[in-house]
Structure 1
Amino acid sequence: MGEHTTLEIAEIAGCAKSTASACIKAYRNGGIDALLATHHKPGREPSLNGTAISELLEGLEQGRWKRIKEIRKWLADEHSVGLSSRGVHCWLEKLGVSLKVPRKSHAKNDEGQSVRFKEGLARKLAGLGVDTVKPFRLWVVDEHRYGLISTLRRCWMLRGIRPPVPYQTKCQRGYVSGGLEVMTGRSEFLYSPTVSLHLSLEFLRQISRSDPDADRVVVWDEVGFHQKKQLAGLPDNIHLVALPPYSQELNPIEQLWD
């Protein structure tokens, strides 16, 4: 004792001078026990308990809420917790939640069918009778409609004058058939003015010609202009697997259209 000033002790310990003074005073009055004793009051209890947090995480995983005010209402109704929008936002950040654009899901989507399709896909592929000697390719296929219609934009003009500007009222649109091979990343596309059974078959032939020595399984939906397995003209190395109705979220190529 007496070798250093309070300021020197604070610099050595890496703390403020007031903190060093408080520690020295505590040591002189009560020794090591007083120095190690906790004097500050505990913080306030968290606003959400374990049950509310687990239910919140479960609801977020299911996409139950789209806006913070919906979460606020749920917390108030189900757990009697009154949080501000900022408070909910802080909890979402603490739980590692981020703002994302959801994937589209059809209103008629049957979640049970989607789950059964995913669980049974491997068995379905094994039962197609694919030649195990040939290379195997798994394709996902879908069509996308794109269009263009003219819109009016701002233009320079004299004050007080609003002249008429002609614009085109007809919509110009087309279709693109797209296929992605999930194992190699290969892609094939076919642009057409419309969709039909003939054009869908032509696109399957295009996929078939891209690697003639391989067997292919094509996964797509059951829209009316998609070929069924029994139709004539289907290449021998093409095997079709139909998605459940209204379940476009099961097709990875949907993300490409986005």
Structure 2
Amino acid sequence: MGSAVGLRGDYDGMALRRLARASKSANQARRLLALAEIYDGASRTAAARIGGVGLQIVRDWVERFNDRGPDGLLDGKAPGRTSLLNDAQRQALAAIVESGPIPAIHGVVRWRLIDLVQWLHDEFAVSLDETTVGRELKKLGYVKLTARPRHHAQNEHALEAFKKGFAAELAKVRAGLPKRTRIEIWFQDEARIGQKNKITRRWALRGTRPSAPHDQRTKSAYIFGAICPEHGKAAGLVLPFCNTETMSLHLAEISQAVAPRAHAVVLMDQAGWHTTDKLEVPANITIIPLPAKCPELNPVENIWQFMRDNWLSNRVFTSHDNIIDHCCEAWNKLVDQPWHIMTIGRRKWANGL
């Protein structure tokens, strides 16, 4: 071993002991106390005894302390194995995940880890296992999620144009109302609830497949639901059919939920019973139709998913009356929890106006 390395001169034994008492790291405190002994004139052997290490380790502590001060005595994270992918390859991996596979070329309709392993080998001659590729994807911010359904004929330009033009549509409605009339923005939709019910995901042990009751009978009812996310309000009816008559009943129910001296703008899809001239629209309601094939614009779709996932799925309904009872119970639960209506239903393009 070479000659002893001297300690830097801007500290002393008392200062290092104060730092050791304040340190939240036991290992750093032990090293600080060992070096404090050296400052006070003790031998390196005595310092090694206090630190419970050999002389070479004490020399390493001295060099780290001289270089970076007390922070140099903190435990560092091991660098680990060098990644086999460089930044350009990671960007390419992210791009191929975003674009998705081409079935005619890649032979699959969704990427699996084994497919990406093969793609990396074909593109860059890099051999990785599935675990490593999964780790790289997580570092890039990717997780496996259930895809949101999108209508195959959806016009994305119409969807974005509706969002941008909604303020102008709202201004047209406001122009035809008395001054100082407050506008409430509502969303409306219907959901069919029947004996052929949904089965949701559930917690289970890895490697097992949990079961849930599933009926094949066909009795059903419809929940007509409308929400006002800004105020956490909802208006609903459980009815046997979707037609002009039942839709008129629901509009009357919404009309009663609108605040006095306020006017409701109700956004809904373009189902036939929503757009017919025979529909009875109350005086305090104006209907604005959503673009065709764009259910993403209607947050009531998310309300249906919430209700199914928490209250309506994984059940066997014994009769039509039993379906109605459960639908009414679920809707009333929603009404009693306005914070869910507000958090699920708010949309910046609509409620930010």
TM over 0.5: yes
Mapped pair 1:92 → 2:116: no
Cα distance in 2 for partners of 1:49, 1:196 equals 57
Q: Contact 2:45 / 2:55 at 8 angstroms: preserved in 1?
A: yes
Tell me which amino acid in the other structure corresponds to 2:229.
Answer: V
Measured after TM superposition, the shift of residue 209 of structure 1 is 1.3
Which one of 136, 146, 150 corresponds to residue 101 of structure 1? 146
Mapped pair 1:222 → 2:251: no
Q: Contact 1:139 / 1:181 at 8 angstroms: preserved in 2?
A: yes
Deviates more, 1:79-88 or 1:188-197: 79-88
| Structure 2: runs of 5 or more not aligned | 1-5, 7-40, 73-77, 102-109, 198-214, 306-353
Offset from partner CA, 1:49-103 (integer Å, 9 cap, x none): 246427616954x787564345445545555554322122101222233333332
2:29 corresponding residue in structure 1: none
Count of residue pairs brought into register by the alignment: 228
Measured after TM superposition, the shift of residue 256 of structure 1 is 1.2
| Gap change, CA 1:183 and 1:244, over 3 Å in 2 | same
Mapped pair 1:193 → 2:240: yes
Offset from partner CA, 1:154-199 (integer Å, 9 cap, x none): xxxxxxxxxxxxxx96411110011110211111111011110111
1:159 corresponding residue in structure 2: none
| Structure 1: runs of 5 or more not aligned | 151-167
Tell me which amino acid in the other structure corresponds to 1:215.
Answer: H
Cα distance in 2 for partners of 1:207, 1:170 equals 32
2:168 corresponding residue in structure 1: 123
Tell me which amino acid in the other structure corresponds to 1:4.
Answer: S
Tell me which amino acid in the other structure corresponds to 1:241.
Answer: I
1:44 corresponding residue in structure 2: 82
2:91 corresponding residue in structure 1: 53
Alignment of 1:236-247 (within 5 A): 236-247=283-294
Which one of 175, 185, 195 corresponds to residue 138 of structure 1? 185
| 1:198 partner SS | helix
2:255 corresponding residue in structure 1: 208
TM-score, with length taken from structure 1: 0.71
| Gap change, CA 1:92 and 1:169, over 3 Å in 2 | closer
| Gap change, CA 1:147 and 1:249, over 3 Å in 2 | same
CA RMSD of aligned residues (A): 3.8
| Gap change, CA 1:149 and 1:100, over 3 Å in 2 | closer
Higher relative contact order (CA 8 A, sep 6+): 1
| Gap change, CA 1:58 and 1:188, over 3 Å in 2 | farther
TM-score, with length taken from structure 2: 0.54
| 1:143 partner SS | strand
Identity %: 25
Cα distance in 1 for partners of 2:141, 2:54 equals 34
Q: Contact 2:244 / 2:279 at 8 angstroms: preserved in 1?
A: no
- Structure having the higher helix fraction is 2
Cα distance in 2 for partners of 1:204, 1:10 equals 84
Cα distance in 2 for partners of 1:120, 1:101 equals 30
